[in-house]
Amino acid sequence: MALDKILSIGGRPGLYKLLTQTRGGFVGESLLDGKRVTVGLRSNVSVLSEIAIYTLEEELPLKEVFQKIKEKEDGKKTSISHKADKIELEEYFFEVLPNYDEDRVYASDIKKIIQWYNILLDNNIVDFVEEEKDAEEPTVSASEEEE
């Protein structure tokens, strides 16, 4: 399952899998306990594929941050808990992403990222970065066909 079907809902713990859209919002299923929730359009909802982390050079998509954590941890859960002290969280995140912007990425953001990574791993959602096509098939334009 891709990160574009995984949601974070403001005021609710954990992550949710998008099941279906309704006229007034959508229905999601908790990745923590499997309970279904109906969420209105006014709720603060973020799709994980749309979230990025500030670095000193650019914004790095969350899926790439998850991939870096996965590589650091050899595909296992994080070696640190999301409930660790602020200093420990920042040290861990610095190992994962040495160029993250310390002024704009807060300890609360790091906590969420670590917690979300572990939730995704528990639900066997581990393909964070899709294989991109190395070379697309060349297309022939109409003017080239006439020659």
pLDDT digits (tens, 9 = 90+) for 21-74: 988 899 999 999 999 999 998 899 999 999 999 999 999 999 999 999 999 999
- Looking at the fold, whether 35 and 71 belong to one and the same domain comes out as no
- Looking at the fold, whether 43 and 55 belong to one and the same domain comes out as no
Residue numbers of the domain that contains 105: 51-122
In a domain, 131, yes or no: no
- Residue 28: name the closest of 53, 62, 1, 52 by CA: 1
In a domain, 140, yes or no: no
Q: What's the domain count of the chain?
A: 2
In a domain, 8, yes or no: yes
35-52 as b/e, with b when 16 or more CB fall inside 10 Å? eeeebeeeeebeebeebe
In a domain, 13, yes or no: yes
- Looking at the fold, whether 117 and 59 belong to one and the same domain comes out as yes
What torsion do the CA atoms of 61, 46, 15, 22 make, to the nearest 10 degrees?
A: -130
Mean per-residue pLDDT of the chain: 88
- Looking at the fold, whether 7 and 66 belong to one and the same domain comes out as no
In a domain, 142, yes or no: no
- Looking at the fold, whether 24 and 42 belong to one and the same domain comes out as yes
- Looking at the fold, whether 43 and 66 belong to one and the same domain comes out as no
- pLDDT (average), residues 5-31: 93
- Looking at the fold, whether 56 and 118 belong to one and the same domain comes out as yes
- Looking at the fold, whether 70 and 36 belong to one and the same domain comes out as no
Q: Residue 18's pLDDT band (boundaries 50, 70, 90)?
A: very high
In a domain, 35, yes or no: yes
Q: Specify which residues 55 forms β-bridges with.
A: 100
The CATH number of the domain holding residue 14 is 2.30.30
Give how far Cα 31 sits from Cα of 12, 88, 120, Å: 12, 26, 8
- Looking at the fold, whether 63 and 79 belong to one and the same domain comes out as yes
Find out whether 40 and 21 touch, Cβ atoms under 8 Å: no
Predicted confidence (pLDDT) at residue 91 exceeds the cutoff of 70: yes
- What tokens appear for 63 in the block? 């899926």
The CATH number of the domain holding residue 78 is 1.10.10.1650
Report pTM.
Answer: 0.84
- Residue 110: name the closest of 122, 124, 95 by CA: 95
